Amino acid sequence: MISIVVLLSAILMALQDRPARTAETPWHDLEAELRQQGKPTDARSLTRLAASESENEGTRWMAIEVLGLRGDKQAIETMNALLRPSESRLIRESAALALARLGDRRGIAALEQMVGSAEDPERRLSLAGHLAEFGSPVGYKYARQAALSETERLRYLSVGALVPFIPLEAAFKEERIDASDRLVALLQDKSPDVRQEVLLYLSLAVEKGLPIQRVRPQVESMTRQDKEPSLKEAARLLLIAWDEKLRQSKSKG
């Protein structure tokens, strides 16, 4: 498990209303790797690289990821072309994700088709979480299945996938999305790693719409009853963080 110092750092970042990662853009490492390979990283060059079937698949994947994360809209039609069946599953999934990030609904539609056909449950879970970020509830059943799985790793990974579904609970009532309930239930998971992962995600979950009063009693209970001393302390620090944010919001008001 990560140290309590790291957890405290994350909480302090939340208190200061700034993301934990601000020094680098999310595509920084991929761009750096491409440059190390001697590849230019301007939008036109990356678009050609992504489309080149003679290039290494991993290099093409990096180009597609950078284009989508940077928001290079001139790559939209190339990304759509990469959805063709002759491309590998990796290229098609990455192109669909890039399209969705670029604001093209064809990317979301493609991801909705792919999520159910993914053979790897971890990949299915990842796609479900991405779809939720784009406002689609289609993959929720896979996030819920993972949260209820007997496999610890799937429960662990379900935490991050459940959070983006929280804002969809009210908008898609017919889908019976209960991401908040699943997340709160995982606070009592038998695995300390899973419980810790929930604690790490709770501040983001609250920002997404999970009411603090819905989860605060469970966090308070953890400060007294959790078997792991580090998690007792983590829960205590989270409560302090929430109280401080409440104090700050009242002082601003």
**Residue 245 has what pLDDT?**
83
Residue 128 counted as domain residue: no
Residue 11 counted as domain residue: no
Domain span at 109: 29-115
CATH of the domain at 111: 1.25.10.10
pTM of the model: 0.85
3-state secondary structure 76-145: HHHHHHCCCCCCCHHHHHHHHHHHHHCCCHHHHHHHHHHHCCCCCHHHHHHHHHHHHHCCCCCCHHHHHH
Residue 214 counted as domain residue: no
- Number of structural domains found in the chain: 1
**Residue 250 has what pLDDT?**
78
Residue 86 counted as domain residue: yes
**Residue 16 has what pLDDT?**
43
pLDDT tens digits for 13-33?
A: 544 444 444 346 889 999 999
Low-confidence residues of the chain: pLDDT under 50: 1-2, 4-5, 8, 12, 14-23
